Structure 1
Amino acid sequence: MAHARKTEKFKKHHIEEFRGRMFIYFCTFFLIITLLAIIYFIASKGLATFFQNRVNLFDFLFGTTWAPGRADDAGGPQFGAFPFIFGSFAVTIMAALVSAPLGIGAAIFMSEIGPSWGRRILQPVIELLVGIPSVVYGFVGLTLIVPFLRSSFDGLGFGLLAGMIVLSIMILPTITSVAYDAMKSLPINIKEASFGLGATRWQTIRRVLVPAALPELLTGVVLGMARAFGEALAVQMVIGNAQRLPNSLNDPTSTITSLLTLEMGNTVTGTVYNNALWSMALILLLMSFCFIFLIRLIGRRAKHER
């Protein structure tokens, strides 16, 4: 009797384990199929610009004239996407240059310098900033940053500088959170060994702790850049959406995401203009893959060094 109960219990556990394994396999398979379907859909639409509509790839990537509605007697439509590509990279890099030192500095303060009550206040504030919708950041930039730039500098206030300021505020919580976790995950014996050798607190932070956490700190910066590169609404509200290259930081320009947000709904599926916009979406997808690859490369090197 006892042996029969044991056998029945074993079979029940085996069936439950089999069901759990099948469920996990199904979720994994569904995720892979969904990802491949998205990649195939965007790639097929984006590559149609060059294979079906015969748009020159070099002219598309490096051309500076975006005139999809130009008549044939005026030279025909032109799809020079370089101003939008430049705008996306410019605001992303500038935002990272501003947010990276601020975020890492805030993380060092919370983990190594500030009192415990300061950390209890700052950490929830940082986490709250992560969850604020992008439209709120854009509205704040539109009502505060743009008028300030308009009154302080020549121009309308819309431009690269306004977009950079808004994006740097948006990605600051992401960089700070990742950097704080990186600093707190360091072994305590590293700090104690530095103090034992006579190093001061600032020498320990600068020469020991920051180099030890550098891969994770860089990962936080790359994550912030990935979010900045794919941001659409907040940037669209303050950058000016001018389809040309800017001559200065105060000149209005546009990004890939802002162009897609404004124009995708106004095109007809299958037209050369619609395919050109899908080509821009393909560029965004490829850049996302580049950011993911960079993050994995940084993590792999960190593991190898350890």
Structure 2
Amino acid sequence: MEQTAVKGQKTNSKSAFMKPHIREEWVGRVYTFICILILIATILAIVYFVASKGLSTFITNGVNIGDLLTGLKWDPEGEPAVFGALPFIFGSFSTSLLAALIAAPLGCCAAIFMTQIMPGAGRRYMQPVIELLAGIPSVVYGFVGLSVIVPMLRAVFPGQGIGILAGSLVLAVMILPTITSIATDALASLPGGLKEGSFALGATRWQTIYRIVLPTTLPALLTGVVLGMARAFGEALAVQMVIGNAPHIPRSLFESASTLTSAITLSMGNTISGTAHNNALWSLALILLTMTFVFVFVVRVLERRNHR
């Protein structure tokens, strides 16, 4: 009987000892589940709000979706009002692509320098400086572009200096930390033994970099470029200050243009909710949201290739 009582006391003490841990585990699960639900609900609410507002242009105001996407004229105050968003779409894509073409080689070369050539001093001094660029407000980039880049382009090339090229240069500096950070992490996580095997076969350091390192990490490098393009595609203030905000398709890199974000920020505060002009601006926001989903899809595809 005494042994049975002792065993019962041990069992009760053990269960009492386990109860707090079980309680903490359930609290953690419930808290995590609630946070996930809030996150999903927020995303769905944003998508529903933007989509309902953006689709009102076609459902309520009767604007043809083809005319909006391919129209060359944007005149919301005209009789009748004309909503052609192709100049804004062209401006957003051209500045983002050109900025990625400028920033991608710089970011990848900086990552190669910090991880393959001088990993000690490079990552100790150069990486913090590059990452510091990500914390600078966009208005500062726009002011620097307006004060430095635009006068420089005006002095060298024809035109006033504002335009596609000025906006692309500002965006290239802004997305440089994103591309460099992702490229640095990809190159630093290279599987061990690849470089050593290449060196053992007699390859030089540069041959190892462009024949082994870069092909192996190419999907991750492209992921950084795509994320940089997504960052550039959604930027508003810095581009708005240097691109000129002219609603037409430019014939050269030195002519004024406009983007989806600049058109929204310049006009949204001057329109009345529910009007055709306001709904058309929400349609531009819906185009931006759709392109964000496209960029995320491309990143996911590249990540799957990288895992393979």
2:235 matched to 1:231? Answer: yes
2:75 matched to 1:67? Answer: yes
For the residue of structure 2 that corresponds to 1:45, the secondary structure is: helix
Structure 1: distance between partners of 2:121 and 2:294? 39
Please list every run of 5 or more consecutive structure 1 residues that lacks an aligned counterpart in the other structure. Answer: none
2:200 matched to 1:196? Answer: yes
Q: Could you tell me which amino acid in structure 2 is paired with residue 283 of structure 1?
A: I
Within a 5 Å distance, the mapping from 1:53-202 to structure 2 comes to 53-71=61-79, 76-114=80-118, 116-202=120-206
The equivalent residue for 1:47 is 55
The equivalent residue for 1:2 is 10
Aligned residues: 300
Cα distance, 1:42 vs structure 2: 0.3
Identical pairs, percent: 60
Q: Could you tell me which amino acid in structure 2 is paired with residue 161 of structure 1?
A: L
Cα distance, 1:116 vs structure 2: 2.2
Q: 2:279 aligns with which of 259, 266, 275?
A: 275
Q: 1:288 aligns with which of 281, 287, 292?
A: 292
Cα distance, 1:20 vs structure 2: 1.1
Cα distance, 1:188 vs structure 2: 2.8
| C-alpha distance after superposition, 1:227-281 (max 9, x if no partner) | 0000001000100011111111110010000111111111000000000000000
Cα distance, 1:297 vs structure 2: 0.4
**TM-score, with length taken from structure 2:** 0.95
The equivalent residue for 2:4 is none
The equivalent residue for 2:36 is 28
Q: Could you tell me which amino acid in structure 1 is paired with residue 30 of structure 2?
A: M
Cα distance, 1:115 vs structure 2: 5.9
Please list every run of 5 or more consecutive structure 2 residues that lacks an aligned counterpart in the other structure. Answer: 1-8
Q: Could you tell me which amino acid in structure 2 is paired with residue 23 of structure 1?
A: Y
Q: Aligned Cα RMSD in Å?
A: 1.0
Q: 109-118 vs 121-130, which deviates more?
A: 109-118
The equivalent residue for 2:3 is none
Structure 1: distance between partners of 2:217 and 2:64? 45
Q: Which has the larger radius of gyration?
A: 2
Q: 2:22 aligns with which of 14, 20, 36?
A: 14
Contact 2:227 2:295 in 1 (8 A): yes
Cα distance, 1:7 vs structure 2: 1.3
The equivalent residue for 1:219 is 223
Q: Could you tell me which amino acid in structure 2 is paired with residue 225 of structure 1?
A: M
The equivalent residue for 2:307 is 303
Q: Could you tell me which amino acid in structure 2 is paired with residue 32 of structure 1?
A: I
Cα distance, 1:96 vs structure 2: 0.5
Q: 1:260 aligns with which of 251, 259, 264?
A: 264
Cα distance, 1:118 vs structure 2: 3.5
Structure 2: distance between partners of 1:197 and 1:16? 55
Q: Could you tell me which amino acid in structure 2 is paired with residue 62 of structure 1?
A: T
Cα distance, 1:285 vs structure 2: 0.3
Structure 2: distance between partners of 1:17 and 1:175? 38
Cα distance, 1:92 vs structure 2: 0.3
The equivalent residue for 2:247 is 243
| C-alpha distance after superposition, 1:179-220 (max 9, x if no partner) | 111111002300000001111111100000000111110110
Cα distance, 1:299 vs structure 2: 0.7
**TM-score, with length taken from structure 1:** 0.96
| C-alpha distance after superposition, 1:68-116 (max 9, x if no partner) | 0012xxxx11000000000000000000011111110111111111262
Structure 2: distance between partners of 1:92 and 1:80? 20
